[in-house]
Structure 1
Amino acid sequence: MEAIGQFIPLILIFAIMYFLLIRPQQKRLKEHKAMVQALRRGDQIVTQGGLIGKVSKVKEEDEVEVELADGVRVRVVKSTIAQVLNKTEPAEG
């Protein structure tokens, strides 16, 4: 019985770590994945490097083509997109 009493603080610390650190991180990862999957042409984005541009083409792989300025297009890996500033409305049809 005494051995179980010694493990209770360790179990409590693990439970607190799970609810304060691991669960919120998993939630953020899921939200980021949904944001990246919902990217469309015309969305204004910010990359993790701080570049702001407009999505000009969404590729099948894990890439998007982003227009940073007139005629300046770069390929960006989807996972490095930090934020979507302006969403484009879906075309009705």
Structure 2
Amino acid sequence: MAQRILGALITFGEGTAAPAGAPGGPMQFLVSMGPMLLIFAIMYLLLIRPQQKRARDHSEMVTRLKAGDRVVTNGGLHGTVTGAKEDTLMIEVADKVELEVSRAAISRVTTKE
């Protein structure tokens, strides 16, 4: 039984072999592109998806900001949110010193002291 299957595979392989110098079929194309597709899939899973998740989490964090939250900006300024507009926040960085910063400039929310 095994010899019949092996014989059929050899016959099938001989019958479908391309002449020397002839371009390969679609299967040859898939075999040659396989490693590149595998590398792209790994890059997507290791680099692109985590970055998308971080961006989504940051966007949600920025939209949830409200008065009283302690924040740190991308420039390193620490302050307390005193007011919020659609695209900007008012943060108090010192006694009676308020700055208007873009929501996108908020790096993280820190714990209240």
Q: Same fold by TM-score, threshold 0.5 exceeded?
A: yes
Deviation at 1:86, TM superposition (A): 2.5
TM-fit CA distance, 1:28: 0.2
Higher helix share: 2
2:80 pairs with 54, 68, 74, which one?
A: 54
Higher radius of gyration, 1 or 2: 2
Match of 1:31 in 2: 57
CA distance in 2, matches of 1:4, 1:63: 51
Q: Which runs of 4+ in 1 moved over 4 A?
A: none
Higher relative contact order (CA 8 A, sep 6+): 1
Matching of residues 57-68 of structure 1 within 5 Å: 57-59=83-85, 61-68=86-93
Segments of 5+ residues of structure 2 without an aligned counterpart are 1-26
The equivalent residue for 1:75 is 100
Q: By percentage of residues, which structure has more strand?
A: 1
Residue by residue over 1:27-76, the C-alpha shift from the partner in whole angstroms, topping out at 9 and shown as x without a partner, is: 000000110011000100000100000001011x2100000000110001
Question: Structure 1, unaligned stretches of length 5 or more?
Answer: 88-93
- Is the partner of 1:66 in helix, strand or coil? strand
Root-mean-square deviation (CA), in Å?
A: 0.9
Number of corresponding residues: 86
Q: Identity rate of aligned residues, in percent?
A: 49
- Distance in 2, Cα, partners of 1:23 & 1:57: 33
